[in-house]
């Protein structure tokens, strides 16, 4: 593999050909906010939080799916990027019913964390308060659509890591919904292996272990990491 040299925020970095901007930035300890990215799964460039400026490109590019090139000059922070990221998060909070105070993932939620990291102290858009249900038909897990941000991490964990493909997306636009099998109650979805990888991959409290109460739903991503490392590197260890 050839090495590529590029600069991120003025800092010169070298990385293997084929690496993404996000990988290279994280290796260089440069933080780029993400929400739909999760190590070990295919990147989809959906949440738009990792957008960066690339000199010579008029469009903003998602760091997670943009492959590095020789001589690339990347900026991960600017007033414009900060503003867009903040707006993206505000749009998410206004979209569904995110009530942190009574959420199982309070304190362990990536949406909540990103909001304060990006300086969101209130939401300027009207809250839409859509009607969404909670699916508690599975014996061990629950899905609260009110807290779902449609990042599709559960969908990818289910198909890419577990290989079950129980979870998918139905509908479109704001009416999109994570479904089990052919839009059946989760408890009746035959393909579900009850492995819980979707629950661990969820950035918010949308997917939770049944019985967890406010702030109890901590995610254990090491389990996902273990499977991915085993498969890709033939190492049966949890990544440091």
60, 175 Cβ separation under 8 angstroms: no
135 vs 225, which CB is nearer to another protein? 135
Rounded CA gap, 164 and 216, in Å?
27
Contact characters 137-156, another protein, x per CB under 8 A: ---------x--xx-x----
Interacting span for another protein (CB under 8 A) from 79-87, 186-194, 218-226, 232-240: 79-87
Per CB under 8 A, 123 contacts another protein: yes
The CB-of-238 to another protein minimum distance in angstroms stands at: 27
| N residues, the chain | 240
State which of residues 1, 10, 79, 101 lies at the interface with another protein (CB under 8 A).
101
Pick from 9, 26, 28, 65 the residue near another protein by CB under 8 A: 65
Which residue's structure tokens are 């990291």? Answer: 117
Question: Which whole-number Å values give the CA distances from 82 to 48, 89, 158, in the listed order?
Answer: 12, 11, 32
- Rg, Å, the chain Cα set: 19
Q: Which parts of 96-172 fold into alpha helices (H)?
A: 110-117, 153-156
Residue written as token pair 């990347």: 74
Taking CA 76 as the corner, what is the angle to CA 36 and CA 60, rounded to the nearest 5 degrees? 70
Whole-number minimum distance, CB 229 to another protein, in Å?
A: 25
Q: Is 77 in the site for another protein (CB under 8 A)?
A: no
Minimum Å distance from CB 35 to another protein?
Answer: 8
Stretch that binds another protein, among 11-19, 39-47, 136-144, 186-194 (CB under 8 A): 39-47
Cβ proximity to another protein, 94 vs 195, nearer residue:
94
Calpha distance 5→162 (Å, rounded): 36
Any contact of residue 212 with another protein (CB under 8 A)?
A: no
Closer to another protein by Cβ: residue 101 or 182:
101
Contact assessment for residue 214 and residue 234, using Cβ atoms and an 8 Å cutoff: no
Choice between 168 and 212, CB closer to another protein:
168
């Amino acid at each position: 593999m050839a090495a590529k040299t590029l600069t991120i925020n003025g800092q010169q970095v070298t990385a293997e050909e084929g690496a993404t901007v996000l990988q290279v930035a994280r290796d260089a300890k440069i933080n780029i906010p993400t929400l739909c990215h999760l190590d070990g799964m295919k990147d989809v460039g959906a949440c738009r939080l990792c957008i960066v400026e690339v000199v010579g490109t008029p469009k903003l590019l998602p760091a997670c799916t943009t492959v590095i090139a020789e001589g690339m000059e990347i900026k991960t922070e600017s007033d414009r990027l900060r503003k867009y990221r903040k707006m993206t998060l505000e749009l998410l909070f206004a979209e569904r019913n995110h009530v942190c105070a009574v959420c199982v993932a309070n304190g362990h939620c990536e949406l909540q964390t990103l909001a304060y990291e990006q300086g969101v102290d209130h939401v300027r858009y009207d809250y839409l308060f859509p009607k969404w249900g909670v699916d508690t038909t599975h014996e061990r897990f629950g899905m609260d659509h009110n807290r779902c941000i449609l990042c599709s991490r559960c969908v990818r964990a289910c198909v890419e890591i577990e290989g079950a493909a129980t979870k998918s997306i139905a509908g479109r636009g704001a009416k999109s919904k994570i479904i089990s099998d052919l839009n059946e109650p989760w408890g009746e979805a035959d393909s579900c292996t009850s492995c819980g990888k979707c629950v661990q991959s969820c950035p918010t409290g949308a997917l939770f272990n049944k019985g967890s109460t406010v702030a109890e739903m901590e995610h254990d991503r090491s389990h996902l990491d273990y499977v991915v490392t085993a498969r890709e590197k033939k190492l049966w260890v949890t990544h440091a």
